[in-house]
Structure 1
Amino acid sequence: MLSIKEINEKDIELCYELDSNTISLWSKEQWVQEFKKEGVKVFGLLLSKLVIGICVFHIVLDEAQINFFVVNQKYRKKGFGSYLMNYLIKQCKKLNIHKLVLEVSHTNVVAEKFYNRFDFSTVGIRRKYYKDGSDALLKEKKLTTK
């Protein structure tokens, strides 16, 4: 059974483990700090009781930034990422969020195609933003009209 639940700081180890086995974005200390931020929400995508995906987003006024979005490699290309993204978009609309933003490496073609399917458009570039020297594409999706 597929479900989504809000995750809290008790699950930092689980978040860190999934991150380490996929995109290796944050250290354990960075995960600890993320959960301490005001306005941060973390959702886990569960298949039965196994967490196969995580989405971290940060709400600031009427915008939300996706800080982390991943699905375990074993479960990719099966619609689970779309399920999680659709859930996130619905949650943002309920919270009257007007815009959803994120950054993605220009070398991560698979992720960029994924975000484009949800009508995220590239609105800027941060040159040499990542450790490997790649550029960050700044993407946004408008959810409502002001």
Structure 2
Amino acid sequence: MISIKQINEKDIELCCELDRNTISLWSKKQWANEFKKDGTKIFGLLIKNLVIGICVFQVVLDEAQINYFVVNQKFREKGFGSYLMIYLIKKCEKLNLKKLLLEVSQSNVSAERFYSRFDFYTVGIRKNYYKDGSHALLKEKKLTTK
């Protein structure tokens, strides 16, 4: 059974473990800081009780910034990421947000292709943004508010 639930600080070890096994983006301290930020929501994608994906987004006024989006490698290209993204988009539309923002490494072709399927388009570039020297593509999706 697939479900999505809001994750809170008591689940920080699950977040750290999934991060370590995928993109290794944040330390435990950085995860702890995310839980404390105003307007930040953290959702987990679960199969039974196993967290296979996480989305962290922060609402600021009438926009949301995706700060973290990942699905465990074993579950990629099976529709789970799309399931989580569709949930996120609907959630943001219910909140009457106007747009959804994110950044992705220009070298992460599969992620860029994934986001383009949801009508995210590049609105800017941060040159040499990542440690490996790759550029960050700033992406935006306009939302339809209800």
Under TM normalisation by the shorter chain, which class is it? Answer: over 0.9
Give the match for residue 136 of structure 2: 136
Alpha-carbon distance in 2 for matches of 1:128, 1:144: 33
Counterpart secondary structure, 2:103:
strand
Residue 8 of structure 1 aligns with which residue?
8
Post-superposition Cα deviations, 1:96-131, rounded to whole Å, max 9, x if no partner, equal 010000000000000000000000000000000111
Q: 1:33 aligns to what?
A: 33
Within 5 Å, which residues of 2 pair with 1:57-96? 57-96=57-96
The answer on 1:108 being equivalent to 2:108 is yes
Q: Which residue in 2 is equivalent to 1:48? A: 48
SS at match of 2:52: strand
Match of 2:16, as an amino acid?
A: Y
Computed over aligned residues only, the root mean square deviation of the Cα atoms, in angstroms, reads 0.7
CA displacement, residues 18-42 of structure 1 (integer Å, 9 cap, x when unaligned) = 0010000001100001111000000
Cα distance in 1 for partners of 2:7, 2:89 equals 17
Secondary structure at the aligned position of 2:122 is classed as strand
Give the structure-1-normalised TM-score: 0.98
User: TM-score of the superposition, structure 2-length normalised?
Assistant: 0.98
Structure 2 counterpart of 1:21: 21
Q: Return the alpha-carbon distance in structure 2 between the equivalents of residues 27 and 132 of structure 1.
A: 18
Identity of counterpart residues, as a percentage? 77
Shift of 1:136: 0.0
Shift of 1:144: 2.8
- Secondary structure of 2:57's counterpart equals strand
What is the total number of aligned residue pairs between the two structures?
Answer: 145
